[in-house]
Amino acid sequence: MAAPYRGLILDFGGVLTTRMRLNGHAFERSEGLEPGEYFAALNENPEGIAIYAALEVGKATQEDWNRVIGGILGVDPTNLMQRALANLHPEPQIVAAAKRARAAGIRVAMLSNSFGIEPYNPYADKGMWTNLFDAVILSELEGVRKPSLAIYERALEALELTGPECVFVDDHAENLPPAETLGIRTIHHTTDPAGTAAILDSLLLDPTPA
């Protein structure tokens, strides 16, 4: 029997890539920051929280983010986003699972709360841009971010599929319920890429021999 799903929607940071927190720790070391200082700038400092939220929906530029976060941390803002993501790498087992799914006829989309794409495009830099997917949905370009229901609806529109035809993978649990309300099958990816890849294979690949 053929697999019941026709679409796969994947988050970028922490799913298609290695873990964001490990990347952040490496950035702190490379910039000579105290442990946890970068995360505090992003998640606790009001200016840091505001500029990231604005960047994600296209109301601030990546260079705005570089300037504000660089100021909070007291580091050179030049190409800061590129430096901040320097230790983020493709997660090979998830990327391979996505390629297997696409080769089997599954439509594959990337859905990301954006890091900005100018002047530095992290998606292209990590080898995960439009050539790897049938659709790319970035919050910066859509003007809305996860977990807003609208961005999941736009992902479905881009794939030309319905919710029950799709599987969505994200490493943040709070991003899953809105997708579920649309009938999308969700997977919470944690720290086991091999396990997540195996689940995707089981859901998306036809087990019937040719």
**Digit-coded pLDDT (tens) for 185-202:** 999 999 999 999 999 999
Nearest Cα residue to 90 out of 124, 55, 131: 124
pLDDT of 208: 61
What average pLDDT does range 47-70 have in this prediction? 98
Distance of alpha carbon 185 from alpha carbon 194, whole angstroms:
19
What average pLDDT does range 177-190 have in this prediction? 98
pLDDT of 1: 43
pLDDT of 210: 46
Q: Is the pLDDT assigned to residue 139 strictly greater than 50? A: yes
Mean predicted lDDT score pLDDT of the chain: 96
Lowest mean pLDDT among 100-104, 177-181, 203-207: 203-207
- The model's confidence at residue 3, banded by pLDDT at 50, 70 and 90, is low
Q: Is the pLDDT assigned to residue 18 strictly greater than 50? A: yes
pLDDT of 141: 96
Q: Is the pLDDT assigned to residue 81 strictly greater than 50? A: yes
46-56 and 62-73 helices, crossing angle to 10°: 160
By percentage, how much of the chain surpasses pLDDT 70? 97
